């Protein structure tokens, strides 16, 4: 079974949270509440379908959108419709993708179908519009039904011209005994339908159409929209609205206004989860396509040598983008050049164009396959995927290259989706015909943003220059790093300015580091990359002062992007250096050391679920004829009417017993820290209590079973937490860090490439010691324009001479971040630093004094215990804006590192 990546689980959890919130709050309020947790402000919710939630998950190329969509079907079914047998309409952008998706979802061995099976077992039916008639009324509400179609099949103004709106007798059983209140919004037969369907007569005019569209309207389908940046027209919105969906879940790499992006997965998250190769080592070739091709071959050859050291079979492949006919480097010319000039064996070359399809029937992963070079022109066919592709050689001019980002997307995918042992195999490589690095990077950056789902900042730092002496950044034989790596070449900075730029009054020293050019849009500046940060700042000031005020923000963004690239190229992790292991807090159990993890915490409180009182305060149901409202601890959940078939209301009294409900709840509520026998006994007592003491009808509990399961999960968690609080405080002083000899088994270490940063720092201050190329969620200014407090704390750490390197620690990343235990969960300190003397410093920053906050007080206790038990190896600082002694955060840090007591 394919296990979801952390970023996929997080995105789907946010989607579920949003859909649940929409039932007790207005949709825009629920949307903005989610965005507030991501520090996203001033984003408008577009109410495209009235009271129907419509949001988008933004997943960059290679992030696994389709498998997320498969899981979203079940999650949305429970969150919106209270059903474990939803109907889903899965819309694709083309018929090719429709066919591929349909085949994958229908194949029991495919990961997409297995994702559905994880939630529904064998209760899944997958069909297209033509085979929908095979679905019987008895299947509805008993199995998950997924209909795969293109939006074009529905997208018309005149519904008489599409089969989905036509009358089908085969669908008639679904419309038998339809209650009047459900038929009002359904489309009726018109005289226009008589022309296209001769079997209908004048007597049928005004009759409800037994059509696919009307059937979907009755089911309130979950709508999944793949590549959701397409079809953003009024007709598209009216089409979906006509189907009366319960919710619309869109997925795309490149959203457009109106997509309502709920969650954005960053490229760094994909890299950390071993899905893509980053950075992209970019080499420019001003001399022409022959040099570009030659160096691409050398890069691929060196990668194959590295691949021989891997345990898994890996054969690096170069994708060569030849020029269209009428240019010099055409497919035939490139092929002949490879054979005659570069001496590449013919069986290592394949051509994949519209007319020549050498890859048909070829398994590129087969060790017997010899193909190492694939020549194409525009794009490989939809669905082509081979993660052995490592090197892109675009022989077209950088200004005219078409579809280069499509080929680059092929090169980014990680072989077998895991980090390779050889660091050179964890990167992608691009060779481009261009005058300089800045020109090549600017072109690729635009394409990565527009077509691959990268944010511009992500794209800027994803492209790093190939170093002249060690182009692949490979360690020397003794394992040390070459001098060229320790002082990497910083690429020049390319700045575009609208209009002309007067530099006659600039100081001469600045003129020496800037080359002025022009293009069709205005002026271009090429600033030398090796200048110091102060000189770069002076250049920025002069450029900003020479342009209109409205253009200054764009200038600032360009200079900040270059600063980020400078930092990325020089980052210790990028240079192959390591971060010291960080000891974790442990407990000694009978001479056996154990890290205090969640599993450990659950054993600290001696508790038995059956010893707890059986109650569910705050759970109430208010029912009316067509709807009901559920109150869970003060939060009212709206229940939207769903067809009686889907609710099984006719079956409740005769087939759903208390025992049936208990068995269903046992699956939904099950937790790893409660035995099944104990949970089942507790559920029997709880259901009996609700029926016989609280006087809920059995029918009401069945109808509200999903909210009941949520309420029970919260109640069991609350009872467990009470026991854990007591047990944690009782053992806190026994917790200790491991000795030097034990560190290998009881420590955490930051690893290169495994830093899933979101909303990375993009300010004007240049940090010099951050271990990773980017800094997670750090803002230089507050919304009010003041210097942010956490930014000042980061400045203090970066500037201190005793700090060797540091990391902005990422919250909620159990495997990739350092954490300390608390009685409730894990505590992720804001900053972790390695000092030049080998010690480790952990800093948690709070703007207000900790005494006013119970959570902060416990974090401080845990941090001090970590420091105290380390025998001087570890330091913990709970920093505030200004402490009781009046010290600033800079002074607090300085005193901590010098051992001053306050």
Residues 829-873 pLDDT 10s: 999 999 999 999 999 998 766 555 667 888 999 999 999 999 899
Residue 395 has pLDDT above 80, yes or no: yes
Pick the CATH number of 6-265 from 1.10.3470, 2.40.160, 3.40.50, 3.30.720: 3.40.50
Least confident of 60-69, 472-481, 586-595: 472-481
Contacts of 851 (CB under 8 A, 6+ apart): 857
Residue 803 has pLDDT above 90, yes or no: yes
Residue 811 has pLDDT above 50, yes or no: yes
Rounded to 5 degrees, φ, ψ at 336 are: -65, -40
Helix, coil or strand: residue 878 = strand
The reply to whether domains 6-265 and 274-472 share a CATH topology is yes
- Burial (CB < 10 A; 0-12, 13-18, 19+), residue 588, is exposed
Domain ranges of the chain: 6-265, 274-472, 486-570, 609-723, 736-898
pLDDT at site 503: 82
Residue 776 has pLDDT above 90, yes or no: yes
Residue 159 has pLDDT above 50, yes or no: yes
Residue 379 has pLDDT above 80, yes or no: no
Pull the structure tokens for residue 48.
Answer: 């495209």
Q: Is 898 or 467 the better-scoring residue by pLDDT?
A: 898
pLDDT at site 476: 45
Contact (Cβ atoms closer than 8 angstroms) between residue 289 and residue 433: yes
Question: Distance between CA atoms of 729 and 76, rounded to whole angstroms?
Answer: 39
Contacts of 534 (CB under 8 A, 6+ apart): none
Confidence of residue 49 (pLDDT cuts 50, 70, 90): confident
The mean pLDDT value of the chain amounts to 85
Which one, of 253, 275, 274, 256, lies nearest residue 264 by Cα? 253
pLDDT at site 901: 53
Question: Distance between CA atoms of 70 and 74, rounded to whole angstroms?
Answer: 8
pLDDT at site 647: 41
Average of per-residue pLDDT across 87-110 = 92
Q: How far is CA 733 from the centre of its chain?
A: 39
Average of per-residue pLDDT across 458-466 = 85
Contact (Cβ atoms closer than 8 angstroms) between residue 498 and residue 489: no
pLDDT at site 623: 54
CB atoms within 10 A of CB 185: 11
Average of per-residue pLDDT across 552-559 = 88
Sign of CA dihedral 20, 21, 27, 30: negative
pLDDT at site 786: 87
Contact (Cβ atoms closer than 8 angstroms) between residue 808 and residue 778: yes
Average of per-residue pLDDT across 102-111 = 94
- Percent of the chain residues past pLDDT 70, beyond the cut: 90
pLDDT at site 625: 44
Question: Distance between CA atoms of 671 and 679, rounded to whole angstroms?
Answer: 9
pLDDT at site 402: 72
pLDDT at site 828: 96
pLDDT at site 63: 86
DSSP 810: P
Residue 6 has pLDDT above 60, yes or no: yes
Least confident of 14-28, 81-95, 350-364, 837-851: 837-851
pLDDT at site 312: 92
Pick the CATH number of 274-472 from 1.10.287, 3.40.50, 1.20.120, 3.90.1580: 3.40.50
Least confident of 425-434, 476-485, 674-683: 476-485
Average of per-residue pLDDT across 50-62 = 90
Question: pLDDT digits over 631-684, tens only?
Answer: 655 555 555 444 434 444 334 443 578 888 899 899 889 987 788 898 999 999
Contact (Cβ atoms closer than 8 angstroms) between residue 756 and residue 276: no
Question: Distance between CA atoms of 139 and 865, rounded to whole angstroms?
Answer: 59
Average of per-residue pLDDT across 27-44 = 90
Residue 896 has pLDDT above 80, yes or no: yes
Question: pLDDT digits over 500-553, tens only?
Answer: 888 888 899 998 999 888 877 788 888 888 888 889 999 999 999 888 888 898
Residue 766 has pLDDT above 70, yes or no: yes
Which one, of 681, 668, 778, lies nearest residue 714 by Cα? 668
Question: Distance between CA atoms of 219 and 642, rounded to whole angstroms?
Answer: 8
Phi-psi region of 383 (alpha: psi -120 to 50; beta: other; left: phi over 0): left
């Amino acid at each position: 079974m394919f296990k979801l990546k952390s970023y996929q689980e997080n995105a789907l959890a946010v989607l579920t949270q949003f859909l649940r919130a929409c039932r007790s709050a207005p949709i825009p309020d629920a949307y903005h509440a989610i965005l507030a947790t991501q520090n996203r402000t001033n984003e408008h919710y577009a109410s495209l379908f009235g009271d129907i939630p419509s949001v988008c998950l933004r997943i960059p190329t290679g992030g696994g959108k389709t498998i997320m969509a498969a899981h979203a079907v079940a999650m949305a079914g429970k969150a919106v419709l209270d059903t474990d047998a939803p109907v889903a309409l899965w819309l694709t952008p083309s018929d090719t993708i429709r066919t591929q998706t349909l085949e994958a979802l229908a194949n029991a061995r495919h990961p997409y179908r297995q994702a559905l099976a994880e939630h529904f077992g064998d209760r899944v039916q997958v069909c297209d519009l033509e085979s929908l008639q095979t679905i019987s009324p008895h299947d509805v509400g008993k199995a998950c039904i997924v209909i795969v179609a293109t939006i074009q099949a529905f997208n018309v103004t005149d519904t008489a011209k599409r089969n989905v709106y036509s009358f089908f007798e085969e669908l008639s059983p679904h419309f038998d005994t339809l209650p009047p209140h459900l038929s009002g919004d359904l489309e009726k037969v018109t005289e226009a339908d008589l022309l296209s369907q001769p079997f209908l007569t004048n007597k049928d005019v005004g009759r409800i159409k037994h059509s696919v569209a009307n059937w979907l309207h009755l089911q309130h389908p979950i709508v999944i929209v793949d590549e959701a940046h397409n079809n953003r027209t009024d007709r598209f919105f009216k089409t979906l609205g006509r189907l009366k969906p319960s919710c619309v879940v869109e997925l795309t790499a490149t959203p457009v206004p109106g997509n309502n992006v709920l969650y954005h997965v960053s490229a760094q998250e994909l890299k950390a989860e071993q899905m893509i190769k980053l950075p992209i080592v970019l080499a420019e070739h001003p001399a022409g396509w022959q040099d570009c091709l030659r160096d691409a071959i050398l890069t691929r050859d060196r990668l194959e040598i590295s691949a021989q050291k891997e345990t898994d079979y890996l054969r690096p492949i170069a994708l060569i983008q030849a020029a269209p006919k009428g240019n010099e480097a055409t497919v035939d010319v490139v092929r002949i050049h490879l054979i005659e000039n570069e001496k590449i064996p013919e069986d290592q070359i394949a051509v994949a164009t519209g007319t020549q399809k050498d890859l048909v029937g070829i398994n590129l992963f087969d060790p017997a396959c010899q193909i190492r070079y694939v020549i194409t022109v525009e794009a490989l066919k939809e669905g082509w995927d081979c993660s052995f592709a490592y090197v892109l050689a675009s022989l077209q001019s950088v200004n005219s290259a078409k579809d280069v980002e499509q080929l680059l997307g092929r090169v980014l995918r990680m072989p077998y989706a895991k980090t390779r042992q050889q660091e050179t195999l964890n990167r992608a490589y691009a060779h481009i015909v261009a005058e300089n690095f800045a020109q090549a990077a600017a072109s690729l950056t635009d394409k990565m943003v527009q077509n691959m789902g990268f944010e511009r900042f992500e794209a800027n730092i994803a492209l790093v220059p190939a170093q002249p002496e060690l182009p692949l950044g490979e360690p020397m034989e003794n394992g040390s790093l070459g001098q060229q790596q320790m002082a990497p070449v910083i690429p020049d900075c390319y700045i575009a300015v609208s209009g002309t730029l007067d530099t006659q009054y600039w100081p001469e020293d600045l003129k020496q580091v800037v080359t002025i050019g022009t293009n069709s849009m205005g002026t271009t500046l090429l600033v030398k990359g090796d200048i110091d940060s102060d000189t770069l700042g002076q250049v920025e000031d002069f450029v900003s002062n020479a342009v209109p005020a409205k253009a200054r923000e764009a200038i600032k963004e360009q200079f900040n992007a270059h600063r980020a690239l400078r930092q990325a190229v020089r980052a210790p992790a990028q240079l192959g250096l390591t971060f010291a292991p960080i000891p974790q807090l442990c407990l000694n159990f009978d001479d056996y050391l154990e890290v205090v993890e969640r599993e450990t915490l659950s054993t600290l409180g001696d508790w038995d679920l059956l010893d707890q009182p059986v109650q569910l305060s705050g759970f109430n149901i208010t029912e009316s004829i067509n709807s009901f409202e559920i109150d869970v601890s003060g939060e009212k959940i709206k229940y939207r009417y769903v067809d009686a078939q889907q609710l099984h209301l006719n079956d409740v009294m005769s087939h759903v017993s208390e025992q049936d409900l208990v068995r269903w709840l046992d699956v939904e509520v099950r937790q790893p820290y409660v035995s099944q026998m104990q949970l089942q006994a507790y559920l029997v007592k709880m259901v009996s209590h609700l029926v016989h003491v609280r006087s809920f009808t059995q029918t009401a509990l069945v109808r509200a079973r999903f909210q009941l399961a949520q309420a029970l999960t919260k109640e069991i968690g609350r009872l467990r937490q009470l026991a854990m609080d007591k047990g944690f405080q009782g053992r806190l002083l026994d917790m200790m860090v491991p000795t030097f000899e034990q560190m290998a088994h009881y420590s955490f270490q930051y690893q290169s490439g495994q830093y899933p940063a979101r909303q990375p720092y993009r300010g004007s201050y240049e940090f010099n010691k951050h271990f990773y190329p980017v800094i997670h969620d750090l803002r230089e200014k507050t919304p009010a324009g003041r210097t942010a407090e956490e930014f000042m704390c980061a400045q203090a750490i970066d500037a201190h001479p005793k700090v060797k390197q540091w990391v902005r620690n990422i919250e909620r990343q159990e495997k990739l971040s350092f954490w300390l235990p608390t009685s409730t969960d894990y505590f992720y300190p804001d900053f972790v630093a390695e000092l030049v003397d080998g010690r480790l410093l952990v800093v948690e920053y709070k703007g207000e004094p900790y005494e006013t906050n119970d959570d902060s007080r416990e974090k401080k206790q845990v941090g001090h215990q970590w420091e105290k038990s380390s025998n001087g190896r570890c330091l913990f600082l709970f920093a505030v804006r200004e402490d009781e002694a009046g010290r600033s955060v800079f002074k607090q840090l300085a005193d901590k590192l010098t051992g001053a007591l306050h």
